[in-house]
Amino acid sequence: MKLTHTDEGGKASMVDVTDKSVTSRTAVAVGKVWMHADTLQLIIDNGHKKGDVLAVARIAGIQAAKQTAGLIPLCHPLALTSIKVNFDINMDNQCIDIEAVCKLADKTGVEMEALTAVSVAALTIYDMCKAVDKNMVIEGVKVIEKTGGKSGDWCAQR
C-alpha cells in the first residue's frame, strides 16, 4: 500500500487526476451527537432561542461540503451536483444521527465532502446547544459508502 498524497520523497503532494476518467460518484458519511434528553426535546420543540437548530445545521453542513477544498489542503475543488444532510432524532438513545450524501460526476471522489458536511453539521448542533448542555459528545464520523471511480463501489461492514 502507498499513500496517495505524498511524492516519491515523502513530501505532501496533490494527486494528479488529469488522466482519470469522469465517473458518477457518491459518498455517504454519518456521525452522531449525544446529548441530554432535555436538550434533545428543546430541539424537537424548536424551542431554542437561537432558532431552528436542525435547519441551521443542515445549511452549515451543505455550505461546509462546498468549502472542503479550502479547508483540507490537498483536496481538489469539486463541482458538487447534490448535497443532502439528514437528521434522525433518536429519543431512546438521546442522540441525533447525521447523514450526508454528496454526489457529482468528476475525476475524484467526494468522501471528504460528505465527512466535512457531517462534521460541520454536528459542530453546529453543538455550538447552538452548548449553553444548555455542556456534556454533548460528537462521535462516529465516518464514510459508510462510496460509489464510482477506479476503485469501484464500497460499503462499510456493519
Question: What residue type is assigned to position 38 of the chain?
Answer: D
Specify the pLDDT at position 20: 87
Q: What is the pTM of this model?
A: 0.92
127 is catalytic: yes
Indicate the pLDDT class of residue 39, thresholds 50, 70 and 90. Answer: very high
The upper half-sphere exposure of residue 126, i.e. CA atoms within 13 Å in the direction of its Cβ, equals: 18
8 Å CB contact between 112 and 80:
no
Query: Which of these is catalytic: 52, 97, 127, 133?
Result: 127
**Could you report the per-residue pLDDT of 2-13, keeping only the tens digit for each?**
667 677 777 777
Kindly state the average pLDDT of the residues 31-58: 93
Indicate the pLDDT class of residue 112, thresholds 50, 70 and 90. Answer: very high
Domain architecture of the chain: domains with CATH: 23-148 (3.30.70.640)
The strand ranges marked E within 63-126 are 82-90, 95-106
Question: In what order do the strands lie in the sheet containing 95-106?
Answer: 82-90, 95-106, 23-34, 137-147, 154-155
Contacts of 78 (CB under 8 A, 6+ apart): 68, 69, 104, 106, 108, 110, 113
Specify the pLDDT at position 5: 66
Kindly state the average pLDDT of the residues 75-93: 96
> Distance between CA atoms of 61 and 100, rounded to whole angstroms?
8
